[in-house]
Structures are given as C-alpha cells and as structure tokens.
Amino acid sequence: MTVSPTPLSPASLEVGGLAYAYPDGHQALFGVDLTIGRGERVALLGPNGAGKTTLVLHLNGILTGGAGTVTVAGLPVGKRHMAEIRRKVGIVFQDPDDQLFMPTVREDVAFGPAAAGVKGPELEARVHKALAQVGMADFADRPPHHLSFGQRRRVAVATVLVMEPEILVLDEPSSNLDPASRRELADILRSLDVTVLMVTHDLPYALELCPRSVILSEGVIAADGTTGDLLADEDLMRAHRLELPFGFDPKSVKV
Amino acid sequence: MGAGHAHKLYRHGHSPVHGLPPHTKLAAVFCFVIVVVSTPREAMWAFALYAVLLAAVAYAARVPAGFLLKRLLIEIPFVAFAVLMPFVAQGERVDVLGMSLSVNGLWGAWNVLAKGTLGVAASVLLASTTELRELLLGLQRLRLPPLLVQIASFMIRYGDVITDEMRRMKIARESRGFEASGVKHWGVLAKSAGALFIRSYERGERVHLAMVSRGYAGSMPVIDDVSASRAQWSYALTLPCAALVVCLLGWLL
C-alpha cells in the first residue's frame, strides 16, 4: 500500500526551516521542517490557527517571502519554476464551489492542462482519465452546481489529478461529506498512486488513510510519527487541542 | 446535455438551427436586427415580410408558435412607452374613436412596436436554439473582449451559488423572527446585501487563489474552439441577407 521513500528518487516534498509572518505582523510559521517521501500518505493535524493553511499555501508558491526553503521533487519553489511547481503540487481546497469555477465539469477539469498548453484529443483523453479515476466520467457535461456536495468534491480532486501532480494536497477533504461520500472519497484516495498530504481535523479519517501523521502546532511541527501512535498518546493530543470523537479508541482500530 | 440544467429560455432540440455554430447565429441575429432597424417605418409590408422570415426560422428550428409568443411577453414594459407616444407627440392630429392622436406619434409608436417586436423575436429564437455556454463560446469566437466573456461565464457559474447564499440568509433572518414589512426594515435588508457583497468578494478571492494554483496567468485557456464551415455560414446568413433585400426594396419602392 505505502511505498517507503527510496533514497534514489528525491522526496516529493521537502520543507526546511520555513518561517512566515503575514504583512500585518502576525507570525504564522516558526521554522517548519517536513520531508515527505514519494508515494507516502501523510496527515497534517493541528488545532485551528496552527498555521496549516499558511503552510499549504507555501507549497505551491502562493505565499513566499519568508525564511526557509520548500522543494517539490527536487525543484525549489520560487519565481523561476512557478508554472512547473503549480503543475506538480495539486491543492484541493476545502470548498468545491471555490475550486470549480468553469461552467461545466469537463471544462473545469480541462482548465489546468489547457492553461499549460495541452490541446485536442490529448486534452480530452486526460480529462476523461481524471474523471474516471474519481468515478465522475458520466457527469462531464454537467454544470458543477447541479452536482451533490460529495460529487463536487470528487470533481475537485479530478481537476488536480488531471495535472498528474507529484503531490496531492487536500484541505479538509472529509468536511461536509455524508458518511457514504466520505467512504467513497477514501476509496478513491487509496486507489491513487500519488503522494498525499491531507490537512484534516477528522482524526479517524487520518487514521484510516494515512499511515503517518505530523502535528503542526503554534507554527512548528510538534510531533511526527505513525498515525496510530500519535492518536493514542493522550498527553500529546491534549497539549495540542486535538480530540477524538466520542467513543473512538484508536488502539481498537485495525488499519 | 440532459434536461433540468439548461437555462429557461433554451429549448432542447436537434434541428438544423440548433446545430449551427453559435457565432454564426449571433452574427446572423445581429445583422438581422441592424437591417430591421434601418428599414423605413412607412414600408409596413417590409415588416410583415420580416415576420414571415422569422416564422420560417422558427419552423426550421421546430420552435412552436406558442412558445415563441409567450416569451415575447417580456417586451411589454418597453411597449408601454410606445403606446403613450400617439397621445403626447406634437404635430398634425387625427381622430380615432373620438380620441385626438398625433400622426407623428402613431408612426413613432408603430416604429418602436414593429422593430422592437422583431428584434425580441429574433433574440428569443437565438436563445431558444443556443445554450448559454455555447453563446459564450460564440462571443469569444467573435472576438468580444475576453474579460467580458470571463465575467459573463463566472456570472453563470456563480449566479446559483450566490442566490442560494441569499436564500439561506433570508431563512436565517426569518428564523429569528424578522419580516420585512416596511421602510423601517430596509436597514436590515441593506446590511444583508452588504454582508452578501462581502461574502461574494471573499469567495472571489478564494476562487482566484484556486485558479492561480492551477496555472491561471491572466487569460483563460481556450478549451472548446468552435469553427464554422462556409456552408454553415451561408446557411446562417440567409436570414439577414433575405432581410437586406426586403430592406432595400423598402427604400426603393
């Protein structure tokens, strides 16, 4: 299921000493170090205001200008490779209505590759493949606002998969999903052969999907380990305002 | 494309008119309207011929007369003005049914009514045979400034999202016992409108972020390019060409 990072290929993501303060002076990140190997699925956990979104926006160069470095598959994030970086880092935002801005599903999925210059039958083929990966191929000609929330979230994943990214970054993928849609999305994510960084408050979901978790708290990585171990460490969890749902015991779950 | 998600003016079908590329239809309607407007108002028979031409298009597009006539009702508020003209205009007057009407005003009213109705009918035909999405592609193809096309396309995409947000805010207001019953409640409504504006503005920023993340650099990539053959162009332009002949006859006779 999980490919352990091989020393030969560069890691999908390397963040070193990343610090960032917003223009208003509020400092969100205080030196983040994080390495994610190719093919890993990692959950990024942390309370509200820990700097998770700030970190995510650094991964594809939306935010820059702080201290430290971000490297995606050996390529430093910076002005020089911006187009390449944005192709390699696929971010799925929390609200699919923000992510899906074109009049039809097909055009929305085609947006990224078309912006990169892909045309004609190759574009069609890639759009179809990405929609098929998330089980939405039959909805290609629908406008996004006629889909259910779960379907929209899956299309949002397809809009990013179509770029064939090095790393898929999901911001709260399970939010607002009913249990069936939640499981469908989990099945899809498991079936993909791509590095995943999943930002979430949904701890059971992290345990289900991600063998490894990191806790971001007050702008630094406070813990890094197997998801099961982290969730079972009650003191650690309490220290970072992370709480499991009522009646959920991570030790009783077989992954 | 299935039913239920087309816009209300569109009428699903597979007629030769439906099949024409959108930009040829747009050009045809635009030229037709120009020709109609430049026809002298005294040539009443010419307007009858135009109506016949449109009826022929409607027949080719298999748009039933009832459907077309019902959608023509949108014109009524504009026509109301035309009805006033014979009463208020100056000049020579005639007596009709005991009322003294201005001759000039009558011609003016006829002019507005005939040209307006024909223009609206042509637009209704265009809208009922062309999907919104296609219209945008057609406009893009006709080299309308890309920013305008982008704005229109976002309007289509987010119109429902924002209406839905407005509806939820209304429900939230009403759930707390608010009912807009008079002038003194306008303040609350104005604040809701302001909140809606700010939410939409913030959504705009998030959408932009999502676009930039997927490689947007100021211009929309062309995903569907529409093109038309010479035969399609000549088929679409039959309507304005026929109208032009009628118009020239109207000036000569």
Tell me the fold of A13-240: Rossmann fold (3.40.50)
Q: Is B9 within the bounds of a domain?
A: no
B31 and B134 co-located in one domain: yes
pLDDT score at B1: 35
> Is residue B133 domain-shared with residue B234, that is, in the same domain?
yes
Task: Give yes or no: residues B36 and B62 share one domain.
Answer: yes
Q: Is residue B220 part of a domain?
A: no
Whole-complex ipTM: 0.79
- The per-residue pLDDT for A4 is 52
Above 90 in pLDDT, residue A186?
yes
Is B7 inside any structural domain?
A: no
Cβ separation of A103 and B211 shorter than 8 Å? no
B78 and B112 belong to one structural domain: yes
Whether residue B162 sits in one domain with residue B48: no
DSSP chain B: --SSSS-TT------HHHHS-HHHHHHHHHHHHHHHHTS-TT-HHHHHHHHHHHHHHHHHTT--HHHHHHHHGGGHHHHHHHHHHHHH--S-EEEETTEEEEHHHHHHHHHHHHHHHHHHHHHHHHHHHS-HHHHHHHHHHTT--HHHHHHHHHHHHHHHHHHHHHHHHHHHHHHTT----SGGGHHHHHHHHHHHHHHHHHHHHHHHHHHHHTT--SS----S-----HHHHHHHHHHHHHHHHHHHHHHH-
Q: Which chain B residues contact residue A148 at CB under 8 A?
A: none
Shared domain check, B121 and B29 = yes
B123 and B166 housed in the same domain? no
- Host domain of residue B157: 145-213
Instruction: Establish if B10 belongs to a structural domain.
Output: no
Residue B2 lies in a domain: no
Confirm whether B53 is domain-assigned: yes
Q: Is A114 on the interface with B (CB under 8 A)?
A: yes
The answer on B238 and B123 residing in a single domain is yes
- Tell me the pLDDT tens digit for each residue of A168-185: 999 999 999 999 999 999
Cβ–Cβ < 8 Å for A111, B221: yes
Residue B25 shares a structural domain with residue B135 = yes
Domain spans, chain A: 13-240
- The reply to whether B204 and B248 lie within a common domain is no
What residues in B contact A141, CB-CB < 8 Å?
1
CB within 8 Å: B214 and A97: no
Q: Are residues B112 and B237 in the same domain?
A: yes
Inform me whether the C-beta atom of residue A92 falls under 8 Å from chain B C-beta atoms: no
B181 in the same domain as B58: no
pLDDT in tens, chain B (253 residues): 333 344 577 888 888 899 899 999 999 999 999 999 999 988 889 999 999 999 999 999 999 999 999 888 888 888 888 888 888 777 777 777 777 788 888 888 899 899 999 999 999 999 999 988 888 889 988 988 888 988 988 888 888 888 888 989 888 888 887 877 778 888 888 988 999 999 999 999 999 999 999 888 877 887 877 788 889 999 899 999 999 999 999 888 7
Among A residues 53-72, those touching chain B with beta carbons less than 8 Å apart: 57, 60, 62
Which comes out higher in pLDDT, residue B83 or A147? Answer: A147
Q: Does residue B196 form part of some domain?
A: yes
Residue B221 is assigned to a structural domain of this protein = no
Dmax over CA atoms of chain A, in Å, equals 56
Residues ≥6 apart with Cβ < 8 Å to A192 = A133, A161, A168
Q: In chain B, how many domains are there?
A: 2
